[in-house]
Structure 1
Amino acid sequence: MKLFLVVFLSLTASLTYASDPSPLQDFCVADNASQLFVNGKVCKDPQLAQANDFFFAGLDKPGNTANALGSRVTQVNVAQIAGLNTLGISMVRIDYAPGGQNPPHTHPRATEILTVLEGSLYVGFVTSNPDNRLITKTLQKGDVFVFPEGLIHFQQNVGYKNAVAIAALSSQNPGVITIANAVFGSKPAINSNVLAKAFQVDNKVVNQLQSQFWMDNN
């Protein structure tokens, strides 16, 4: 019985802290040329690591917000910095035109901490079932807000000028699921009867939404 309890507590602890794998060496620069498929990236020989494996330039440049959402997300994850592999962290720059938004979305593998560099943002997230409680805040320059891992969240520029934010995420590859795109823009499309019942609307409404072009601001 004691052995079972020890094993159970060990498994529980490992699940509690499970996220990106912890590094077992100084670094594991991603070998993007490798054909192996693993949960993460294969390491290249550490002796071949160079400064550019840990470097990204250009985050000072504004993203192009001339789109339907009025926002642009510039990602800096393991795809841009190979040296982030196994380090469990990444970041993004988000630019917002006046009225622009980073629409409701989730990061399946990361908590996000966002800092406003310029402008004013209305931000929020929704807690999980059954409460689905909306937690919101209007942020100003220098303010910081946290979006817990996996929860639906959003940001919208509520000022009269462009806004900029920087966010850090607790994964080398946090992923993003934009809710509207995933539900109404999936390929192939989700059966309209399924969505009509889920959203309690007429099939015509679903068909209209599915016929729209659902863009990605990343």
Structure 2
Amino acid sequence: MSADQGVAAEPLLRVDDLRVDYRGVVAVGGVSLRVAEGQCVAVIGANGAGKTSLLRAVGGFVPAGAGSRVELAGVDLTRMPAHRRVRAGLGSVLENRHLFPHMTVRDNLELGAAAAPGRSGAGLRGALSLLPELEGLLDRRAATLSGGQQQFVAIGRALATEPRLLLLDEPTNGLAPRLVERVIEIVRHLRAAGTATLLVEQRLEVAVAITAEVHVLAHGRVVHSTDGDTADLARIAHSAYLS
């Protein structure tokens, strides 16, 4: 049985014919996908496949091309700036984390909570309840933390916005195995709590540990999708990485 069976059929996130190009060079060449509430969907592929460009376009950090559409809970986000997407319920953990290095962990988390005013007000408390390892780091500057600690601060800051959908760009990159398992645990908890996740990963084993729905990206296009056949996915993914 698929890990995501039983999730409501109506998608929370709709991405249709998403295109991204940089001065005429196509990075994403027309990708469509769906993510339901409480579901995690993974996009995997080699370096340069277009995974990060896809996620950044969904998050509003790079413009989507003509004909693209990004919709969250029925709201058209396609031309909406990134900060308004946060208020609409979209949280992002980007590549390289983008923390404020000279600010404390507490201040970084509070900035996340402040980015989405009008929610329940439990953003910071909710982030710390899921990431108790940050409690002892609150008064430390982000620049003094290890890479793994900084990654959890970045995740915590996104969770402090109380997102309906969380974008995760290679959250396990460079982490020790025990921290990789912790990231997997966090995403599973979010799914159980009803938060949707769109995960970009390079490692197949991480993607299938979290979700059964995986899209393989190569040269900016989806070349294969699966909802549970990991043996077939491994074969297709291998060819995608070598293409």
TM, length-normalised to structure 1: 0.26
Larger Rg: 1
Q: Greater relative contact order: 1 or 2 (C-alpha under 8 angstroms, separation 6 or more)? A: 2
TM, length-normalised to structure 2: 0.24
Higher helix content, 1 or 2: 2
